[in-house]
A and B are shown apart, each in its own frame.
Chain A
Amino acid sequence: MIEAFLLAMRQLQTKKVRTLLILLGISVGVAAVVGVTSLGEGIRVNAVEEIEKSHDLTLIEVSPGVSNGNIILITESKVRAVREYGSVVAPYVKDAYVTPNKTYFEVNGISAEYMDAKNLQLEAGMWLEEGTYQIVLGSDIGEKFSKIEGVEIGNAIDARIRLYGEEGRAIDKDITFMIAGRLKPTGTDTDDQAFIDMNIARELTGKDVYDGIMVKLDKSGQAPAVRTAIEKLGLTCYSAQDEIDSVNKIMNAVTLVLAFFSSISLIVGGLMIINTMIVSVYERTHEIGITKAIGASESDIIRLFLSECIIIGVLGGILGDLLGVIFSILIDTVGRPMLIAQLGIADFEHLTVINIQILAAGFLISLVISVIAGIYPAWRGAKLDPVKALRQL
């Protein structure tokens, strides 16, 4: 087999310019695919990194589940079951309140565990004391209150909650909270939420179930297993991994489509190979006749031509990967500053990412296309009638 390649190499050397042109054709196609894929991959990696930066991957947010149209509530026994899995398990309730000035805000009734699980940090004031009507505000809602309601830490704030009685009759309840503290901004939902003691919240609403559970894990690696366990209880889970998964899914699809369109240039490369090989078979007709007479079988002839194609495929793959890397660096150096300037987005490290899979795919595409393109010409060579071939000079 090695000798077949050496012989094929010899053939390619005798038509250097032609070989070089095919190599260029196929490798430009590979480079386009590699470059585009690296761009897709780069965007994906950046998006995932962005999510990982702003989200806690060790946190699972559990909410009531739905099964066959029935809502599965988070009861005490469910909470007990969930406690098996997390290092911190914090059930909470969630209600909407409104101020006399018609500012609606979300109030979570929480325990100290919740603060741990979500890693809430105070910016000013103090944490709420259990069993009191103290309230801690998220940073945005805190700001709103000080602007609209004119209340600061240490002030009281009136709020009303609407509850529904037995017959669906609305009952409004008025409460006065004492603002105990304000949280640091987090860039998440927390900024728009206020927090009170869970027992007080449940007393106010008369709820005997929870609206959610925060489950904090020691390691993010545990997340998938814990999720499935909790989902088995009939509850719904959400974690940042969901967003990463959907980003991955979308970006993979986008990259695939882009790669598909850029691979059209590979068809041109493939046609170039078919054309060149057919010409080569035609030029070597007499030689093929002799080769058959001295004992080459049809498969020997096919092997001779396919060896040439394999060499073209390998060289085209290597060259294509190299060009692809250059192409990708080009996109990065030109495209990244432009994107940052145009979109005004925060600086990020790389717009394109090259990994071994992309390079391997580029190489394989070149090899596969070269071999497929060689099959028909090789078959034609093998099927040549030796007598006719020998007559032709």
Chain B
Amino acid sequence: MWMVETQGLSKYYTFGSGNQVVALNDVNLTVESGEFVSIMGPSGSGKSTLLNIVGCLDKPTSGDVYIDDAKIDYGNAGSLVQLHRQTMGFVFQGFNLISTMNAMENVWYPMYFNKVPKPERKKRAEELLESVGLRDRALHLPSELSGGEQQRVAIARSLANHPRLILADEPTGNIDSRTGKMIIDLMKKLNKEQGITFIVTTHDKAMANNADRVITITDGEIVD
């Protein structure tokens, strides 16, 4: 069973002048459940676009995406929301957290939308912060945390609803390599211990070295 499968996935941006930007061109990709896949490629090659389409934040121009072998219906907003709530978690490059909420609240926020009862939410948020080593920073606002700490809170948040797939777009992009290593180790650990599937875009060689598989993408096409 594939966790993620794309078939002939393309994304074009057409401008008024008739110019076309090809962000993705006929991408066929399969990711196994439990795999740690890293996507590399030069800037502008379409990494984020691919991740956003798989993550149901963006729509493809053509082609299909299957998650758990079920075709995503991009026109059905309700089903996309359910995927966000139950199947996948996101980590972005930086400024991942809601600035007016403390670490704890940021972690329980996805559970709030997923309608998890309040006491359970609090308990899980505490556990998750514990697991990323930030239990004692629970009441701190994002502005009071370092970049690496913020990313760890973001990872804790992405785990809130027990997702089986985590999509991370350059999670180590804005932090130094030593802190980056910590983030990579954390994700690896979650992948190994909990079997969570990771698709991570990166420019970071260290990240690629830790992946089960590295996919290289150039000008919107996979080049192996």
Contact = CB atoms under 8 A, between A and B. Distances in A.
A and B bind? yes
Interface of A: 3, 10-11, 14, 286-287, 289-298, 300, 386-387, 390, 393
Q: Quick one: which of A11, A289, A386 has the most chain B CB within 10 A?
A: A386
Contacts of B55: 293
Interface of B: 52, 55, 57-58, 77-78, 81, 84-85, 89-90, 92, 95-101, 109-110, 112-114, 118, 157-158, 160-161
Contacts of B112: 3
B99 A287 contact: yes
Contacts of B96: 290
B96 to A, nearest CB: 7
Contacts of B98: 287, 290-291
Contacts of B85: 295
Given A3-B118, A387-B57, A390-B57, A294 B157 contact: yes
Q: Quick one: which of B57, B77, B101, B158 has the most chain A CB within 10 A?
A: B57
Contact of B113 (A10, A300, A393): A300
A290 B110 CA distance: 10
Contacts of A289: 57
Contacts of A287: 98-99
A287 B97 CA distance: 8
Contacts of B84: 292-295
Contacts of B158: 294
B120 to A, nearest CB: 14
A393 B78 contact: no
A290 B99 CA distance: 11
B101 A10 contact: yes
B155 to A, nearest CB: 13
Contacts of B110: 294-295
Nearest to B100: A14
A295 B77 CA distance: 11
Nearest to B97: A290
Contacts of B90: 290, 293-294
A386 B57 contact: yes
27 contacts: A10-B101, A287-B99, A289-B57, A290-B96, A290-B97, A290-B98, A291-B98, A292-B57, A292-B84, A293-B55, A293-B57, A293-B84, A293-B90, A293-B92, A294-B110, A294-B113, A294-B158, A294-B160, A295-B84, A295-B113, A296-B81, A297-B78, A297-B81, A300-B113, A386-B58, A387-B58, A390-B92
A295 B82 CA distance: 7
Contacts of B52: 386-387
Contacts of B81: 295-297
A295 B118 CA distance: 17
